[in-house]
Chains A and B, each alone.
Chain A
Amino acid sequence: MTIQQPTATDLGPALSATVMRETSRGVSAPLRRTSFKTVRRLLRTRMTPFALAILALFALMAVFANQVQRYDPINYQSYASANQGPSLEHWFGTDYLGRDTWSRLVHGSRISLFVGVISVGVGLILGVLVGVSAGYLGGKVDALLMRCTDAIWAFPALMLALAITSALGRGVVNSMIAIGIVGIPFYARLARASTLAAREFDYTLAARALGASTPRILARHILPNISAPLIVQASLGLGTAIITEASLSFLGVGVQPPTPSWGLELRTGYQYLELNPVVAIIPGVLIFLTVLAFNFLGDGLRTALDPRLARGS
């Protein structure tokens, strides 16, 4: 279920503009200068160190998958020892073809994290493009872009992702595109609202009066101001993307066998629930921990990047 914590922007574009106006007034300079303070604040937020630790762990696992694995996750098949529970030989047991579950999950982290990052990246970049254009250019362009974005947002995310992967063909790459497209409305709306606010700032107006070119204005004044809420949203979006990828793999249209992914292992676990319940439980735990970590991180970032606190410290 692609549930996000509701941000101000979810509660209506007008409200978000108000909020943005309120909170952004204090930020008149790019984030760079206050980044050290931000990081300190981030780390002081309760659960963030825990979140970062988990993410670091999984990232390391993904990067060093080949070293951490104990058997080849795809090619080592041992039919005689299929569907076994955890043992010293196989820490998480074996799957239906006798492959080592631990190794498959370790490699699965690669796919899951990779898919998460790329799809959020796709959604973010496209969403920012759409949102900033709409917010900055206004008028008919705004209306057209926002109507289309709203139309995409009207379809349940999973169904849209499913339709897109069915259209493009199954597999990792197309899943990433699908999840990315599905995420565009979130980032677009956010970017647009922030752009609308940033457009009215004194220094932006001044820059325009001085005849600065549009790209310069966008780069120096608009983008830095919208990055804070976008970063927060992206962090939460990573969790959502991972769950969506797992959902697509669970339905059979995401990652294809024999490539391992957490979602695919969960599907296998569901099919072999009685014989080998471990395979159904562990991938879910991993997904859960990852999403939890991203959510904590997002929450921490939100607190850390809140300019109201910036004024205080």
Chain B
Amino acid sequence: MATYIVQRVLQMVPVMIAASVFSFAIIFLLPGDPALLMLGDQLASNREVYEAKRAELGLDRPVPIQYLDWLGKTVRGDLGTSTRDKLPVTRGIADRLPVTLELTVLAMLLAFVIALPTGIISALRPNSRWDIASSLLAFVGVAVPHFWLGILLIYALAVAARVLPASGYVPLSEDLGQNLLRMLMPAVTLGLGLSAILMRQVRSSLLEVLRQDYITTAQAKGLRPRLVVMRHALRNSMIPVVTVIGLQVGLLFGGAIITESIFSIPGIGRWAVDSILQRDFPVVQAVSLVMAIGVLSANLVTDVAYAYIDPRIHYR
């Protein structure tokens, strides 16, 4: 087991390096001049100031050196300064990441709350009308473009019916009620697709487990019926479900991008989009790296957890 973990971690290292290279390289792909953007038009027209800035940013050195320099700084926690608001990027991340995390967690919670009961009932009554209906709904849930869902929700609940505020974000520390109220539609938008996938997964893994010999044996032995058996079955069937969640982290981050844009939530997804579009290079580099690390870590945890539970699975 320990070897497996070590192996996986070691595996992750080159991937992280590759990811860091991509994150860094992005600024060379995106057209636009970082020095120019940081100085602003007026100062940049002064040749000396411009050259000095380029030297300060290290843009006149060979690319691999720049990369190593950036990497060194990053590892030490210096992620640079945003060209737009002149604040350290770390501060920007510290402000925005919790918001996105809250959105993602709420979406996952919501997905779970929907998927668990639906999936269980479907598994207990396979091929019944309920099962067919919920399977259909699951398909639908996956197919709905989530930003369309967001727009529809805004129109229905905020424009037409006026029951919910359309947008904005109130920090948790400030007002829990307002915060949740405003996160409701975004969480639903983000979580619905996930709930569809989860529902299918709950159903199929529960069905799988229920077919196992030990369940039939337990039932034959006269163990209190479904409820008790359910507990065992449920516990074992949750593993693939949890791993699926872990693997969806990357997709949730991606979904958060548009959701945050539509609902004006100051999270890291929207920050990433704005930074890409406005060529805020330090932010783009840092946020890409953070997201990549987040996804990779989630995968690592998922894989290890899975391997822990199911000793059959060990990487060759």
Give A residues with C-beta under 8 Å from B. Answer: 1-3, 5-6, 10-15, 17, 47, 143, 147-148, 150-159, 162-164, 166-168, 239, 243, 246-247, 250-253, 266, 269-270, 273-274, 277, 280-281, 283-284, 287-289, 291-292, 295-296, 299
Given contacts A148-B18, A247-B258, A269-B151, contact A3 B145 (CB under 8 A): no
Query: What residue of chain A has the Cβ atom nearest to residue B298's Cβ?
Result: A154
Return chain B residues, CB-CB under 8 Å to A167.
26, 29-31
Q: B284 and A5: CB pair below 8 A? A: no
Given contacts A2-B251, A155-B295, A167-B26, contact A291 B145 (CB under 8 A): yes
Assess whether B257 is interfacial by the CB under 8 Å rule: yes
Return chain A residues, CB-CB under 8 Å to B250.
153-157
Give B residues with C-beta under 8 Å from A. Answer: 14-16, 18-19, 21-22, 26, 29-31, 139-140, 142-148, 151-152, 154-155, 159, 190, 193-194, 196-197, 200-201, 240, 243-244, 247-248, 250-255, 257-258, 261-262, 269, 272-273, 276-277, 284, 288, 291-293, 295-296, 303, 306, 313-316
Question: How near does chain A come to B128, taking the closest CB pair, in angstroms?
Answer: 15
Given contacts A6-B244, A287-B145, contact A151 B30 (CB under 8 A): no
Best-surrounded residue of A167, A168, A277, A287 (most CB of chain B within 10 A) = A167
Return chain B residues, CB-CB under 8 Å to A152.
22
Return chain B residues, CB-CB under 8 Å to A289.
143
Query: Could you list some 6 contacts between A and B, CB below 8 A?
Result: A1-B146, A163-B30, A168-B29, A273-B151, A274-B159, A291-B145
Return chain A residues, CB-CB under 8 Å to B257.
156, 158-159, 162
Return chain A residues, CB-CB under 8 Å to B272.
159
Return chain B residues, CB-CB under 8 Å to A247.
145, 147, 258
Return chain A residues, CB-CB under 8 Å to B200.
5
Q: A156 and B30: CB pair below 8 A? A: no
Given contacts A157-B254, A163-B284, contact A6 B145 (CB under 8 A): no
Given contacts A284-B152, A295-B143, contact A1 B22 (CB under 8 A): no
Question: How near does chain A come to B4, taking the closest CB pair, in angstroms?
Answer: 10
- Once the chains are docked, how many angstroms separate the CA of A47 from the CA of B248? 26
Q: B197 and A159: CB pair below 8 A? A: no
Q: B145 and A288: CB pair below 8 A? A: yes
- Once the chains are docked, how many angstroms separate the CA of A266 from the CA of B148? 8
Besides A155-B295, A163-B288, A164-B29, 13 other A-B contacts (C-beta < 8 A):
A1-B251, A2-B251, A3-B197, A3-B251, A10-B244, A12-B303, A154-B296, A155-B22, A159-B254, A239-B143, A250-B258, A270-B151, A273-B154
Query: What residue of chain A has the Cβ atom nearest to residue B259's Cβ?
Result: A1
Return chain B residues, CB-CB under 8 Å to A251.
258, 261, 273, 277
- Once the chains are docked, how many angstroms separate the CA of A35 from the CA of B28? 48
Q: A163 and B26: CB pair below 8 A? A: yes
Q: B29 and A159: CB pair below 8 A? A: no
Return chain B residues, CB-CB under 8 Å to A150.
15, 18, 296
Q: B148 and A287: CB pair below 8 A? A: yes
Partner of A6, one of B197, B254, B292, B314: B197
Query: What residue of chain B has the Cβ atom nearest to residue A290's Cβ?
Result: B143
- Once the chains are docked, how many angstroms separate the CA of A291 from the CA of B149? 14
Question: How near does chain B come to A193, taking the closest CB pair, in angstroms?
Answer: 12
Given contacts A3-B197, A157-B254, A247-B258, contact A10 B145 (CB under 8 A): no
Query: What residue of chain A has the Cβ atom nearest to residue B287's Cβ?
Result: A159
Best-surrounded residue of B147, B255, B273 (most CB of chain A within 10 A) = B147
Question: How near does chain B come to A65, taking the closest CB pair, in angstroms?
Answer: 22
Q: A6 and B247: CB pair below 8 A? A: yes
Q: B291 and A155: CB pair below 8 A? A: yes
Q: A284 and B291: CB pair below 8 A? A: no
Return chain A residues, CB-CB under 8 Å to B155.
273, 277, 280
Q: B291 and A156: CB pair below 8 A? A: yes
Return chain B residues, CB-CB under 8 Å to A151.
15-16, 18-19, 21-22, 292
- Once the chains are docked, how many angstroms separate the CA of A280 from the CA of B152? 8
Partner of A159, one of B142, B243, B261, B288: B288
- Once the chains are docked, how many angstroms separate the CA of A153 from the CA of B253? 13
Return chain A residues, CB-CB under 8 Å to B139.
47, 292, 295-296, 299
Q: B197 and A5: CB pair below 8 A? A: yes
- Once the chains are docked, how many angstroms separate the CA of A15 from the CA of B284? 35
Return chain B residues, CB-CB under 8 Å to A284.
144-145, 148, 151-152
- Once the chains are docked, how many angstroms separate the CA of A274 from the CA of B159? 8
Q: B15 and A154: CB pair below 8 A? A: yes
Return chain B residues, CB-CB under 8 Å to A295.
139, 142-143
Query: What residue of chain B has the Cβ atom nearest to residue A291's Cβ?
Result: B143
Partner of A1, one of B14, B193, B240: B193
Return chain A residues, CB-CB under 8 Å to B262.
270
Best-surrounded residue of B148, B159, B315 (most CB of chain A within 10 A) = B148
- Once the chains are docked, how many angstroms separate the CA of A164 from the CA of B284? 12
The list of the 9 closest CB pairs from A to B, nearest first, reads A284-B148, A151-B18, A156-B254, A167-B29, A1-B255, A292-B143, A154-B292, A291-B143, A158-B254
Query: What residue of chain A has the Cβ atom nearest to residue B18's Cβ?
Result: A151
